[in-house]
Structure 1
Amino acid sequence: MVFKSQLLTDDRNKNEHTAIKTTSGLSRRQFLRRVGVSAGTAALASQSISQVWATSSIEPNGSTQLTKDDLPTESLNEQTPFIQTTCITPTIETRLFASSNVGGSGDRTQLALDRVACAGFKVNNPTITNRQYLRFAGTDSQRASDLQNIATGAIAAPKLLLGVRGGYGAMRILPMVDWSTLGRIMQGRGTILAGFSDVTAIQCALLAKGDMSSLTAPMLYSEFGKTKPDEVSCRQFVEALTNPNLVINISDAALTSQKLPSILTSSEPKTITGTMWGGNLSVVSALAGSEYLPRIDGGIVFLEDVGEQPYRIERMLYDLYLAGVFKNQQAIVFGALSAAGEDSYDKRYDVATVIRQLHQLTGLPIYSGMRFGHIGQKHSFPLGATCQLTPNTDGGYQLAFTDYPTIKADAIQVEGLWQTA
């Protein structure tokens, strides 16, 4: 494999961008943005969040563009300005990486940038959000450069690497990044890479080849640019960033399936300790058999997904089972399997049936209802870190995490992440 050792400069990015298709017939707001009128500049100057508006994912012609990381948001009355809030000076060195889909709205992106700045995150490369090639947030080379330039030392490793959004595209850039070197540099700096959904491919590669943890967490465009960001998700994002001993308690399996117990096991549940790894089921199963899927002895596998029918969920789980992925694992933890729907042949064939079949196949204890996935009120947590999984007396369980990098809590003002009209 040949790695690119040179810095992909802004000039080169601009040259590549000439091949990118642009859209004619700009709206008034798009025109103002194109000529350089930025609400974010005023926001930082006044230490208050800007009066800009987030658009929903509804297109002007009434159609919708849904991806797994970005469900429709409610529309916002553009006559109502945002409530002013005192912002702190951003000091947390932050870089964005855009490995997957392009963002659909420049205003929504700018609002997200204003919010994270207000909360204390100093984003050093906001202009990458302007890239587009086909459906992607730039060419493969551009998107890989967000990470590879850190691996080569051309760009200093930040404290936070924040994903812009998911969708699709991260898998295309996996061979273009020196994950081993990137992981070593991130470990030395204590860098936290945060994202989920399609970013699972990045997180798996980083753990498999760079032995580096990451944070499964909300992302810039898909959460912080919403009309009304979810306050619980924002608070839990900051909790996972700042707490070196994160604890999450799960009381029931409802987010996975209401027909399942929280713990499905053939013997008495017991405390286990291992490395938690995994992410989005569709992405993890697509990596089966590749060098980018972690091989962890005694691991705890975490899986979540959205909009997949029960038979598709089972097929992806069989992909992993037949590839031997569940061998030498201690347990499987399921987060939200949202919008799974019903089987058109037989409604009895549901998510609960699929997971019970997996339990029979693997013999592993299965824990359901973990509060993470394509849902609101997400509880962020580290992947690739040590997790102690403990059943409780009420039929639920607790996950306690250690051995992952964090940020000082006093550097973050969490309220800046969800200011709403």
Structure 2
Amino acid sequence: MNQRIYVFSPSSAVRDKAAVRRGVARLKALGHEVELDPDAFTTHMRFAGDDATRLAAISRAAKSGAAIAIITRGGYGLTRLLPAIDYKAVAKAIDRGTKFVGLSDFTAFQNAVLATTGRATWAGPAVGEDFGVEGEPDDIMQACFEELADGTGEGAGWQLPKAEAVAKPMHAEGILWGGNLAVLTALAGTPWMPRVAGGIVFLEDVHEHPYRIERMLTQLLYTGLLAKQKAIVLGRFTNYKAVPNDKGFKLQTVVDWLRSKVKAPVFTGLPFGHVPTKVALPVGAKVHLSVEGRDAFLIWGNRR
């Protein structure tokens, strides 16, 4: 189903304009009508325009009437905008059918919308880094986006590592929330951190060494939020380097430590993060997590 798509820049400045233009062209080639926000390529220091400019872009996205409002890229900048966002306008846009889509820094917007309005947004691709890649975009990413666009998506599945296979089927239901770990941790103690109890939290990150991942997880643990979840699902943690001082300390060390601190099951391998292959996930929607053997599924469909 062809849809109207609004492309905007609420975070870092677009440095690779060619990638965004390629992404827009590919979305159009899929049959979508695409509108690029007038300030999509604006630059102010490291940002896509000053705060007022980016707030205006969010407002235009909410008023666009588009089926999908998707970011050009992530980076940094949304946390400084959170007090001034017009959440009522965003909620009205979502109620009218607009799906806000993005990842990385967009985690701040997504969780603030959930905390203030209870509405769901979508963790998914960005126009530049996903649709605008040189070569062909990832097939799974594109298929999941198309399902998001036409409303046919009902869930996402993946295979767990052998060590995580469950002997008995496991099922849990709750609000799906989370996103980029560093951004989510920055919301701790603020009005824009969702107070989800009995939920399913998913986490990912990029350029963060395992010890930094553990430090951020420790902060979330000390807030008490992780202990209240029914399950923790870890996506991809990528683009970091081990150093000699690690002496065997690695990402699996962090996962094992987290499992020792919470009663909820911790699963890994979710195809989401700063990687080409990513599914689309409804942040703030009720989902059903089902695990049988090594097969894991997040299902929403008509559960939203």
TM-score > 0.5, shorter chain as reference: yes
Distance 1:91 1:355 in 2: 41
Partner SS for 2:18 = helix
Aligned to 1:31: none
* Contact preservation (8 Å) 1:100, 1:165: yes
1:232 aligns with 2:131: no
Partner SS for 2:56 = helix
Structure 2 letter corresponding to 1:397: A
Q: 1:129 and 1:302, CA in 2 relative to 1: closer, same or farther beyond 3 A?
A: same
Partner SS for 2:39 = helix
Distance 1:404 1:222 in 2: 30
Aligned to 2:253: 353
Distance 2:23 2:178 in 1: 27
Deviation at 1:187? 3.4
Aligned to 1:98: 9
Alignment of 1:269-280 (within 5 A): 270-280=170-180
Distance 1:197 1:245 in 2: 22
Aligned to 1:194: 101
Aligned to 1:66: none
- How large is the Cα RMSD of the aligned pairs? 2.3
Deviation at 1:121? 2.6
Distance 1:216 1:141 in 2: 24
Q: 1:263 and 1:127, CA in 2 relative to 1: closer, same or farther beyond 3 A?
A: farther
Runs of 4+ in 1 over 6 A off after TM superposition: none
> What per-residue deviation string (whole Å, max 9, x for no partner) do you get for residues 51-105 of structure 1?
xxxxxxxxxxxxxxxxxxxxxxxxxxxxxxxxxxxxxxx9622222211111113
Distance 2:36 2:275 in 1: 28
Partner SS for 2:273 = coil
Aligned to 1:281: 181
Q: 1:404 and 1:107, CA in 2 relative to 1: closer, same or farther beyond 3 A?
A: farther
Deviation at 1:245? 4.8
Distance 2:303 2:243 in 1: 40
Structure 2 letter corresponding to 1:345: N
Deviation at 1:244? 4.2
Deviation at 1:149? 4.6
Deviation at 1:223? 1.5
1:120 to 31, 53, 74: 31
Identity of aligned residues (%): 31
Aligned to 1:371: 271
Q: Kindly name which structure, 1 or 2, has the bigger radius of gyration based on alpha carbons.
A: 1
Aligned to 1:209: 116
Distance 1:362 1:269 in 2: 20
Partner SS for 1:101 = coil
Deviation at 1:183? 4.1
TM-score (norm. length: structure 2): 0.91
> What per-residue deviation string (whole Å, max 9, x for no partner) do you get for residues 343-384 of structure 1?
532332111111111111122110111011111221222211
Distance 2:252 2:52 in 1: 42
Which structure shows the higher strand fraction? Answer: 2
TM-score (norm. length: structure 1): 0.67
Q: Which moved more, 1:99-108 or 1:296-305?
A: 99-108
Q: Which moved more, 1:314-323 or 1:222-231?
A: 222-231
Aligned to 1:322: 222
Aligned to 1:339: 239
1:222 aligns with 2:129: yes
Q: 1:105 and 1:328, CA in 2 relative to 1: closer, same or farther beyond 3 A?
A: closer
Aligned to 1:84: none
Distance 1:291 1:327 in 2: 19
Q: 1:216 and 1:375, CA in 2 relative to 1: closer, same or farther beyond 3 A?
A: same
1:170 aligns with 2:78: yes
Q: 1:117 and 1:174, CA in 2 relative to 1: closer, same or farther beyond 3 A?
A: same
Distance 1:355 1:100 in 2: 30
* Contact preservation (8 Å) 2:99, 2:122: yes
Distance 2:295 2:241 in 1: 25
Structure 2 letter corresponding to 1:99: P
1:252 aligns with 2:160: yes
> What per-residue deviation string (whole Å, max 9, x for no partner) do you get for residues 154-179 of structure 1?
x3432111111001111121111122
Q: Which moved more, 1:333-342 or 1:311-320?
A: 333-342
> What per-residue deviation string (whole Å, max 9, x for no partner) do you get for residues 177-196 of structure 1?
122x1343023211101000
Q: 1:138 and 1:335, CA in 2 relative to 1: closer, same or farther beyond 3 A?
A: same
Q: 1:403 and 1:97, CA in 2 relative to 1: closer, same or farther beyond 3 A?
A: farther
Distance 1:395 1:113 in 2: 37
Q: Which runs of 5+ in 1 are unaligned?
A: 1-89, 254-259, 406-421
Alignment of 1:277-316 (within 5 A): 277-316=177-216
> What per-residue deviation string (whole Å, max 9, x for no partner) do you get for residues 301-332 of structure 1?
00001121111000000110111221321110
Deviation at 1:217? 0.9
Q: Which moved more, 1:321-330 or 1:90-99?
A: 90-99
Distance 1:342 1:279 in 2: 24
Distance 2:227 2:302 in 1: 24
Structure 2 letter corresponding to 1:388: H
Structure 1 letter corresponding to 2:235: G
Q: 1:357 and 1:297, CA in 2 relative to 1: closer, same or farther beyond 3 A?
A: same
> What per-residue deviation string (whole Å, max 9, x for no partner) do you get for residues 4-56 of structure 1?
xxxxxxxxxxxxxxxxxxxxxxxxxxxxxxxxxxxxxxxxxxxxxxxxxxxxx
Q: 1:324 and 1:301, CA in 2 relative to 1: closer, same or farther beyond 3 A?
A: same
Distance 2:231 2:112 in 1: 21
2:301 to 384, 390, 402: 402
